A and B are shown apart, each in its own frame.
Chain A
Amino acid sequence: NAGVMQNPRHLVRRRGQEARLRCSPMKGHSHVYWYRQLPEEGLKFMVYLQKENIIDESGMPKERFSAEFPKEGPSILRIQQVVRGDSAAYFCASSRPGVGEKLFFGSGTQLSVL
């Protein structure tokens, strides 16, 4: 049973380009979280998704950021028109449906905006 897979591991974009970050949850997991982490800081919640449904997007900026978790395929975090301040590590986690389920994390995508 493969773990949570995130790709790419590193992503370099120039200002104004689009960044697409992918996350394939563990088998049997229908819930996905996205977090952002700056160096030496904690994880900041961005969005919580269920298949085909956004449960909570309160941590995600209203502009330029979007997330989806389709019925088939990975969850995608999309950042349009990236700016230098978007540079960070983005972590995805998945869990089984249910209350109080532990999260399984991917290795993260390090986004660098030049």
Chain B
Amino acid sequence: SQQGEEDPQALSIQEGENATMNCSYKTSINNLQWYRQNSGRGLVHLILIRSNEREKHSGRLRVTLDTSKKSSSLLITASRAADTASYFCATDRGGYQKVTFGTGTKLQVIP
């Protein structure tokens, strides 16, 4: 079964607005990562946050992690049409444990 569940499943916003996606997971984790997938392509790593971190920034991306609620959020500020893609969270439980992906949020940014 999938470890993570993203919500919303789909999100449509105007260019320039902020986009927030959430990820909830079921078991304790060591790391949580966010990936992006353009239609028909492989996934691209965006950002990694460790279980002892609460917030991380990378350019226009901001990720938060709340281990007590078993949830994470990805914020994309000042969105662009090129941000249109599906976004997935992925978790691992440390050691040589598999990385499992959530169900994804499909983001559409309208120019």
Contacts and interface: CB of A to CB of B under 8 A. Distances in A.
Contact of A105 (B42, B50, B106): B42
B99 A33 contact: yes
B7 interface: no
A83 to B, nearest CB: 22
Interface in A96-114: 99-100, 102-108
Nearest to B89: A42
A105 B37 CA distance: 10
Interface residues of A, number: 27
19 contacts: A33-B99, A41-B103, A42-B104, A43-B88, A44-B2, A45-B98, A45-B100, A48-B96, A48-B98, A50-B96, A55-B96, A99-B30, A103-B35, A103-B43, A103-B90, A103-B99, A105-B42, A106-B42, A107-B42
A97 B48 CA distance: 16
Contacts of A50: 96
B98 A58 contact: yes
Q: How large is the interface on B (under 10, 10 to 19, 20 to 34, 35 or more residues)?
A: 20 to 34
Interface centre among A35, A43, A91, A104 (most CB of B within 10 A): A43
A52 interface: no
Interface string A56-70: 101100000000000
A100 B98 CA distance: 10
B95 interface: yes
A105 B43 contact: yes
